[in-house]
Amino acid sequence: MPDHALLHDATATLADVHVSFGERAALVGVDARIRAGAITVITGPNGAGKSTLLEVLGGTRAMTSGGRDVRGTVAFVPQRAAIPAGLPVSVRDVVSVGAWGRLGLWRRMDAAARELVERSMDRLDIRSLAREPFAALSGGQQQRTLLAQGLARDADLLLLDEPTTGLDAPSALRIRLVLREESARGVAIVCVSHDPAVIGDAEHTIRLVDGRRTAQSG
């Protein structure tokens, strides 16, 4: 687990980041400082570069230029699962992928990893669904399963893309409460969100317009 004493103030730092897709600039000279033990929300209109910035932080999007420094481990929780509907995987299978990322693909899960998987499901109130096919779940249940997978990674930096969009109120509240708990124990959390409630929970916000950072508060 992340240790308050071991985590640095800045879990991630971006300096003058540029990302281009052909002739189109997705990010232009973006700087960001992501602090441990805090929730940072990336806001802005559609097409502003929010998801691209999240991908750069996660190391899944190459920069055209700029600097990226991330300390510790990273967990990325997408808005939708990239799991084919016909793939016969259970909720527990999906959550366990987080522990595999922590242990390494070819290592067997030990008792501590299995306990972390079960505890992650408990925290998102999906333990009773552990044997259910992931594809059969509602949107809110799937999103809680994906967050449980992120928790099972036990990472220092937790990245989420629109974690509450389209969810019912109980599912959205459950996710927000878990994010608060994670930040309280020292995890750096970054969310792309338009949700006023999620934005209201944040200690820091980064606003993008046309790929440029127009403001960072907090």
- Each domain of the chain, given as residue ranges in start order, spans 1-72+192-218
C-alpha distances out from residue 173 to 58, 178, 195, Å: 25, 9, 11
The per-residue pLDDT for range 198-210, each reduced to its tens digit, is: 999 999 999 999 9
Rg (Cα) of the chain, in Å, rounded?
A: 17
For domain 1-72+192-218, give the fold: Rossmann fold (3.40.50)
Q: Considering the entire predicted model, what is its pTM? A: 0.89
Q: How many CB atoms lie within 10 A of CB 84?
A: 9
The per-residue pLDDT for range 41-86, each reduced to its tens digit, is: 999 999 999 999 999 999 999 999 999 999 999 999 987 766 766 6
